[in-house]
Amino acid sequence: MATDNRINFWRRNAKVPGSVQPVYGAQHPPLDPRLRRTYPKDTKPKFNNIKTKKASSFHEFARSTNDAWDIDDEEDEEFLGTFNPAVSIPPGLHTTSSIQNQQHQAGDTESAVSHRLAPPTTEGPNLQDVQEEDTEYEQANGKVVKSSSDAHLNTSSVRSTLQKQQSLPVRPIIPLVARISDQNASGAPPMTVREKSRLDKFRQLLASPNTDLEELRKHSWSGIPREVRPITWRLLSGYLPANKERRELVLKRKREEYFRFIEQYYHSRTDEHYKDTYRQIHIDIPRTNPLIPLFQQPAVQEIFERILFIWAIRHPASGYVQGINDLVTPFFVVFLSEFVTEDMENFDVAALPLETQRNIEADSFWCMSKLLDGIQDNYTFAQPGIQNKVKALEELVSRIDEDIHNHFKRYEVEYLQFAFRWMNNLLMRELPLRCTIRLWDTYQAEAEGFSRFHLYVCAAFLIKWRKEILSMVDFQGLLMLLQNLPTIHWGNEEVGLLLAEAYRLKYMFADAPSHYKR
How large is the average pLDDT for residues 511-518? 60
Residue type, 166: Q
Query: Is residue 447 scored above 80 in pLDDT?
Result: yes
| Three-state helix/strand/coil letters over 18-70 | CCCCCCCCCCCCCCCHHHHCCCCCCCCCCHHHCCCCCCCCHHHHHHCCCCCCC
Phi first, then psi, for residue 40 (nearest 5°) are -60, 150
Per mean pLDDT, which of 64-73, 172-181, 501-510 is the most reliable?
Answer: 501-510
Helix (H) or strand (E) holding 2: helix 2-12
Element (H or E) spanning 496, and its range? helix 492-509
Give the list of residues 6+ apart from residue 200 with CB closer than 8 angstroms, or none.
none
Give per-residue pLDDT as tens, 180-237: 655 444 444 556 888 899 999 999 999 999 999 999 999 999 999 999 999 999 999 9
pLDDT above 60 (res 448): yes
Residues 292, 345 contacting (CB under 8 angstroms): yes
Q: What is the mean pLDDT of the chain?
A: 76
Query: How many angstroms separate the CA atoms of 490 and 120, rounded?
Result: 10
Q: Would you state the pLDDT for residue 176? A: 36
pLDDT of residue 408: 97
Q: Which CATH superfamily is domain 376-517 in?
A: Ypt/Rab-GAP domain of gyp1p, domain 3 (1.10.472.80)
Lowest mean pLDDT among 53-57, 211-215, 295-299, 385-389: 53-57
Contact 81, 139 (CB under 8 A): yes
Q: How far is CA 375 from CA 220, 327, 497, in A?
A: 21, 12, 25
Give 252-297 as a 3 state SS string.
Answer: HHHHHHHHHHHHHHHHHHHCCCCHHHHHHHHHHHHHCCCCCHHHHC
163-193 pLDDT, tens per residue? 444 444 443 333 334 456 554 444 445 568 8
pLDDT of residue 193: 87
Span 87-98, mean pLDDT?
A: 40
**pLDDT confidence of residue 195:** 87
Residue 512 clears pLDDT 70, i.e. is over it: no
| Lowest-confidence segment of 81-95, 233-247, 295-309 by average pLDDT | 81-95
Alpha helices in 321-453, H assignment, sequence order: 324-336, 354-373, 384-400, 402-410, 416-424, 433-445
pLDDT tens digit string along 400-438? 999 999 999 999 999 999 999 999 999 999 999 999 999
Query: How far apart are the C-alpha atoms of 359 and 336, rounded to whole Å?
Result: 10
| 376-517 has the same fold as 192-374 | no
Contact 486, 479 (CB under 8 A): no
pLDDT at 506 > cutoff 90:
yes
Residue 266 or 186, more confident? 266
Residue type, 422: W
For 88, residues 6+ apart whose C-beta sits below 8 A from its C-beta are 77, 80, 81, 137, 138, 139, 144, 161
The ranges assigned to domains in the chain are: 192-374, 376-517
Residue 62 has a pLDDT of 55
- Rounded CA-CA distance 252/363 in Å is 10
Distance CA 260, CA 202 (A): 34
Return the closest-CA partner of residue 484 out of 36, 122, 113, 61.
113
Q: CB count, 10 Å around CB of 305? A: 18
Is residue 143 helix, strand or coil? strand
- The phi, psi pair for 367, rounded to 5°, reads -70, -40
Question: Residue 509: what pLDDT?
Answer: 86
Report percent pLDDT > 70 for the chain: 62
pLDDT at 463 over 50: yes
pLDDT tier at 56 (50, 70, 90 boundaries)?
low
- CATH for the stretch 192-374: 1.10.8
CA distance 245 to 358: 22
Q: Which of 184, 181, 180, 223 is nearest to 202 (CA)?
A: 223
Distance, CA of 123 to CA of 394 (rounded, Å): 36
What is the rounded end-to-end Cα distance, in angstroms, of the chain?
21
CA 182 to mean position of chain CA atoms: 15
Cα within 13 Å of Cα(444), Cβ side? 31
Per-residue pLDDT, averaged over 51-64, amounts to 52
Burial, 91: exposed, middle or buried (Cβ in 10 Å; 0-12, 13-18, 19+)? middle
Question: How high is the pLDDT of residue 25?
Answer: 45
pTM of the model: 0.67
Q: Percent of the chain having pLDDT more than 90?
A: 56
Residue 305 predicted with pLDDT over 90 = yes
The string of pLDDT tens digits covering residues 109-153 is: 444 434 433 344 444 444 444 344 444 443 434 333 333 334 343
Q: How far is CA 178 from CA 173, 198, 252, 424, in A?
A: 11, 28, 33, 22
Contact indicator for 343, 445 with CB cutoff of 8 Å: no
Q: Which residue has the higher pLDDT, 318 or 109?
A: 318
pLDDT of residue 1: 53
